[in-house]
Amino acid sequence: MEFKHISVLLNETVDCMMVREGGVYLDGTLGGAGHSSCIASKLTTGHLYGVDQDSDAIEAAAERLKPYEKNVTIIRDNYRNAVRILKEMGVGGADGILLDLGVSSWQFDQGDRGFSYNYDAPLDMRMDTRKDLSAAVIVNEYPEEEIRRILRDYGEEKFASNIASNICKARSKKKIETTFELNDIIKDSIPAKFRAGGHPSRQTYQALRIACNEELDVLENSLDEMADFLNPGGRLCIITFHSLEDRIVKNAFKRFENPCTCPPGFPQCVCGKVSKGKVITKKPIAPTDEEIEMNPRSRSAKLRVFEKTK
């Protein structure tokens, strides 16, 4: 299947990056290179580093970025390692860093990857297929209490306890191997009157995907390093797709701008913590009605931007 993905908030993001022709840019979630191809097209003496852990994305991005290959380096890895890798390559800093979080349209539509509850497929959900931890391991091997916590904390699932309990009952009889087997368990765990607001598996699949790929931990543990890696005037642009991600980004940007931990009544700061820069987006940038109509999956997207102090 051809790798197809509609880049969300494309123009808004590239505009916020303020790309200059000799700058250095990092796309930590390269995907099909929708954003990156626009950035690379603006570079003459500058360079773009694109990072992704999905082999299919890497292959598609390499093809799309061929016209700009002299200004592009593609790396297969998790963005949590991107700054370290660039430093090892001798890169001193970036003028812009982009993270487009979540799952690409292609990954959802590629049935055998197990990201979607709409296709009967093996339970997988790994963005990096080299990793051992899959959704099947979580569902079949994790303790009931841990599954409940994952569904509650990462999926904000009201019926986390019911679902976790029924998963454990089902797996005691037979290993849960496919998405449709899991769908049936989830459906039976949620009272009929609460199933009207969309597919009953949506929140559970989000939770399992986040846990399988350590998405929130990776995000939370990468932001400080990325902000510090920015050159003066450089910008960190992050697109999130659910409240858990957005909360992490919002709080981190707020802390970067105002890190002071002194009590409010202190006449002057004594903690010694210095601001890294300023938040450009006091309110996140959201897709237009026209974009949502063209790409319904963009509906929940939010773009936040932070600028390093000059």
**pLDDT tens across 24-40, in order?**
999 999 999 999 999 99
Separation CA 79–CA 96 (nearest Å) = 14
pLDDT for the residue 112: 86
Average pLDDT, the chain: 94
Please, what are the domains in the chain?
Answer: 10-106+215-308 (3.40.50.150), 111-213 (1.10.150.170)
pLDDT for the residue 1: 44
Identify the band that residue 106 occupies on the pLDDT scale cut at 50, 70 and 90.
confident
Percentage of the chain with pLDDT > 90?
A: 86
* HSE-CB for 153 with a 13 A CA cutoff: 12
Question: Does residue 95 surpass a pLDDT of 80?
Answer: yes
pLDDT for the residue 4: 56
Separation CA 8–CA 251 (nearest Å) = 22
Q: Percentage helix, strand, coil, to 5, in the chain? A: 45, 15, 40
Question: Does residue 111 surpass a pLDDT of 90?
Answer: no
Q: What is the mean pLDDT of residues 213-220?
A: 97
Question: Does residue 2 surpass a pLDDT of 70?
Answer: no
Q: What is the mean pLDDT of residues 87-100?
A: 98
The single-letter code of the amino acid at 26 is L
Strand partners, 81: none
Find all residues with CB under 8 Å of 255, minimum gap 6, and list them.
none
178: DSSP letter:
B
